[in-house]
Structure 1
Amino acid sequence: KENRQYEHELSLVVERFRSIVTDLNLSDQVIDKIEIEINNIFASSETIYSKLEALKAVGEDTLAQILSEYLTSLGMNAKYLNPKDAGLILSDQPGGAQILEESFEKIYRLREYDEILVIPGFFGYTSTGKLVTFSRGGSDITGSIIAAGVKANLYENFTDVDSVYCVNPTIVNNPKEIATLTYKEMRELSYAGFSVFHAEALIPAVRAEIPVCIKNTNNPNCPGTMIVAKKEIQTGENPVVGIASDEGFMSLYISKYLMNREIGFGRRLLHILEDEGISYEHTPSGIDDMSVIMRANQMDERKERNVIKRIKAELKPDQVHVARGLALIMIVGEGMQRQVGTAYIATKALKDANVNIEMINQGSSEVSLMFGIKEEAVNAAVKSLYQAFFE
């Protein structure tokens, strides 16, 4: 029964690819080859985890082969190149692989090809030849790695929007587009919910100082959004480039009188979280209290009980409690470093929207200003902030 189910699901996948090939007037040979490859994955003696990695890569790999065939049919000198042949050597971290430094020397040799190279994204191989994938949305990472490796002048990343918008268009109708962003600004916006470009994909481009242009696949003539290392900030220019929001956070609050005199208190608290495999996002603090902001999906009820029990036993706080249902709002712009009053405008906008601020945090770089609020207040907060800064 399981085999019949697997064969049925496989046939649906193959037929979907076959319909694409038919629409493009290509030979069925490419699909026959792909069907054999998928069957080989199931028939292999690899572990279930290795098979899963290989299956996750099938979509990207198949479409790259189809695209190469299609470009060739149009008379272009195109060539499909497997990531292994392209030189992508990754760490052995399935679902979260990282590029190894030794890859870049090999990737640079791609400049020697005369063909238009079509390289599938999202996966690569370890030094031992094991297929591993990047995190979800990792095709952006592949493109950035290749651009950095060949020392490109520009990396164009095609998506389904004309540009990066200054706010989530599902919250604010027809928001303003962003013409130019810096790497730092894009990183801050990506962290807090801007999903148009994979946050990790910026790393290779940043290190190689390669400009990135976000463009629309269905509207390629639109100029899109440029992401650059530095930009000129004009006098009188809006210091804020974007407002991002993300839900699913929680805070761990600890209060203890004279906490500031207790050497190593913060280190011991974070060590407890480390022991439970929990990473933190922010740690706003006062002289006698400290909050740790983290993704709520990291701490289930069991971990919460263990953490609180250890905090009470090892740190002996006056108070400790957990608050869930938090959202973070990031107001981002390198221009905030030069302009007084951004925090005032933001807090007034939140007050006008009757949104209570649970937490506020701003780094010394002043590239972003972060507010913690209740999740149910996100839409009202974002709309009010957009009106204050962009209308």
Structure 2
Amino acid sequence: MMKVAKFGGSSVADASMIQKVAQIIRSDQDRKFIIVSAPGKRSKTDIKVTDLLVELGKKHEANEAVDDVKAKIIERFQTMINNLALSSAIVDDIKDTIDGVLYDESLKDNRLDSLKAMGEDSLAKVLSAYLQSLGEEATYINPRDAGIIVSDEPGNAQVLDESYEKIYRLRDHKGIMIIPGFFGFTKDQKLMTFPRGGSDITGAIIAAGIKADLYENFTDVDSVYCVNPNIVENPKEISELTYKEMRELSYAGFSVFQDEALIPAFKAKIPVCIKNTNNPEKEGTMIVSDRKNPITGTVVGIASDKGFLSLYVSKYLMNREIGFGKNLLQILVDEGISFEHAPSGIDDMSVIIRKDEFPKEKEQVVIKRIQEELDVDMVTVERDLAMIMLVGEGMNSTYGVASQSTQAFANASVNIEMINQGSSEVSVMFGIKEDELEKAVQSLYHVFFENKIKV
């Protein structure tokens, strides 16, 4: 069996965690391809290395002093290297690389990407050196040498299909390969970073490229929970999810993955296992293309997120006006506003938008354009909304999900502002007021996972 293992920021936050990671790698000779994130927080008040690198780049761009931030970054790696009893030459290399990126004029267009990538790149070198110190045949592999070719889009790079043939050749490499996540190189050899979830993306790309049997994603939880454990105490763990279910849950607020991160692995139908670096013997959660074990309920997960608003538009006989929806959404496009959902009726339409996309100053501009260009009867904006999504492939063949859901909201005395059934029939979304999110989610959990239905 050939495995790709990715370790997130919390898994490589300090020397003690790196020692755990090394033990996990050495415990299974099939773990040959290792992807790492940049060091994450060591405590709740700590700062991620990537955030420090971003701060460094912004200060440099603003011609502000950078020595203090640079010292914090060097200190993180110096402490790590000292505690692992590694050569200080690694720290010297990190210092030289930082200075090289800061003052290389050829990097002007992608300097921030080059800085952000240093967290992953440096950590990969540290882990490789530590495994070598333990007698392992481990090699640091730069994403350029791994064959990760990406589009020329700073901060939003997309992998090019031609990468996969090059990545496949890594199968012939001997020993353990340590590959930094989060970035690749264009055909012109410019470094570009992936969007959110970048190291997960790298892991999925490598897994697809080498045609892995399994992609293990190590994080700081034993498995994926069916609901946010900050809302429901000791929620049930999910042993198995389908790709569709995970995509829907990630999109709707599950923090385990950014919703697009696993697409390369999904397309290649490579199973993904979520595991805990602090508890590696736990089975974790399997994400598969087709469920092998029979589903035990209609709903496998409840995702929730705050920070939404609804742009409501009403016009009599809207349904007869060809192109109305297109024209409404075009106004949002013109104003640079991305939307999430657009449920509609005969005479009305709502557009669900994340509030960060729709600041107050844009609101008046958009409302005025809708009134003047679309001649509507009413246009209003309702802010402070939360979205709750029920997900499960068993929902499309089960009666009563909607009635159970509405009963759960009624039990919690929560008014439903919006309902939207996903076209995939894998999910149904509810919009409610933000301040009622927790009690609504708790009530839904009782109904679907504890069978406590009040009639």
TM interval, shorter chain, is over 0.9
SS in structure 1 of the partner of residue 388 of structure 2: strand
Cα distance in 2 between the residues matched to 1:308 and 1:4:
40
- Residue 18 of structure 1 aligns with which residue? 78
Q: Which amino acid in structure 2 is aligned with residue 323 of structure 1?
A: E
SS in structure 2 of the partner of residue 205 of structure 1: helix
SS in structure 1 of the partner of residue 119 of structure 2: helix
1:76 pairs with 117, 132, 136, which one? Answer: 136
Is the 1:141–1:198 Cα contact (8 Å) retained in structure 2?
A: no
1:89 aligns with 2:149: yes
Q: Which amino acid in structure 2 is aligned with residue 172 of structure 1?
A: V
1:197 aligns with 2:264: no
Cα distance in 2 between the residues matched to 1:103 and 1:231:
29
SS in structure 2 of the partner of residue 101 of structure 1: coil
Q: Which amino acid in structure 2 is aligned with residue 359 of structure 1?
A: M
- Residue 170 of structure 1 aligns with which residue? 230
Q: Which amino acid in structure 1 is aligned with residue 433 of structure 2?
A: K
Cα distance in 1 between the residues matched to 2:301 and 2:349:
29
SS in structure 1 of the partner of residue 379 of structure 2: strand
- Residue 298 of structure 1 aligns with which residue? 357
Against the structure 1 CA distance between its residues 304 and 4, is the aligned structure 2 distance closer, same or farther, given a 3 Å change threshold?
closer
Structure 1 residue 131: Cα displacement: 0.9
1:242 aligns with 2:328: no
- Residue 53 of structure 1 aligns with which residue? 113
For 1:1-391, what aligned pairs fall within 5 Å after superposition?
Answer: 5-46=65-106, 48-232=108-292, 234=294, 237-391=296-450
Bigger Cα displacement from structure 2, 125-134 vs 180-189? 125-134
Hey, which bits of structure 1, 4+ residues long, moved more than 3 A?
Answer: 1-5, 46-49, 232-235
* Cα deviations by residue, 1:86-118 (Å, 9 ceiling, x for unpaired): 111111111111111111111111111012110
Structure 1 residue 233: Cα displacement: 6.4
Structure 1 residue 5: Cα displacement: 3.5
- Residue 18 of structure 2 aligns with which residue? none
Cα distance in 2 between the residues matched to 1:199 and 1:216:
20
* Cα deviations by residue, 1:18-39 (Å, 9 ceiling, x for unpaired): 1101111111111111111111
Structure 1 residue 278: Cα displacement: 1.5
Q: Which amino acid in structure 2 is aligned with residue 14 of structure 1?
A: I
Structure 1 residue 77: Cα displacement: 0.7
Against the structure 1 CA distance between its residues 140 and 345, is the aligned structure 2 distance closer, same or farther, given a 3 Å change threshold?
same
* Cα deviations by residue, 1:303-328 (Å, 9 ceiling, x for unpaired): 22221111111110110111111111
Cα distance in 1 between the residues matched to 2:284 and 2:293:
19
- Residue 48 of structure 2 aligns with which residue? none
Cα distance in 1 between the residues matched to 2:240 and 2:234:
18
Q: TM-score, normalised by structure 2?
A: 0.83
Structure 1 residue 130: Cα displacement: 1.0
Is the 2:207–2:215 Cα contact (8 Å) retained in structure 1?
A: yes
* Cα deviations by residue, 1:304-356 (Å, 9 ceiling, x for unpaired): 22211111111101101111111110000001112110111111001110111
SS in structure 2 of the partner of residue 201 of structure 1: coil
* Cα deviations by residue, 1:130-185 (Å, 9 ceiling, x for unpaired): 11111133100000000001111110011110000000011111110000000000
Structure 1 residue 301: Cα displacement: 2.4
Against the structure 1 CA distance between its residues 109 and 307, is the aligned structure 2 distance closer, same or farther, given a 3 Å change threshold?
same
Equivalenced residues, count? 390
Cα distance in 2 between the residues matched to 1:9 and 1:253:
46
Structure 1 residue 74: Cα displacement: 0.9
Structure 1 residue 232: Cα displacement: 4.6
Is the 1:233–1:335 Cα contact (8 Å) retained in structure 2?
A: no
Task: List gaps (5 residues or longer) in structure 2.
Answer: 1-58, 451-455
SS in structure 2 of the partner of residue 53 of structure 1: helix
SS in structure 2 of the partner of residue 158 of structure 1: strand
Structure 1 residue 9: Cα displacement: 2.1
Against the structure 1 CA distance between its residues 51 and 365, is the aligned structure 2 distance closer, same or farther, given a 3 Å change threshold?
closer
Cα distance in 1 between the residues matched to 2:293 and 2:95:
54
Structure 1 residue 48: Cα displacement: 4.9
Structure 1 residue 364: Cα displacement: 3.6
Is the 1:123–1:132 Cα contact (8 Å) retained in structure 2?
A: yes
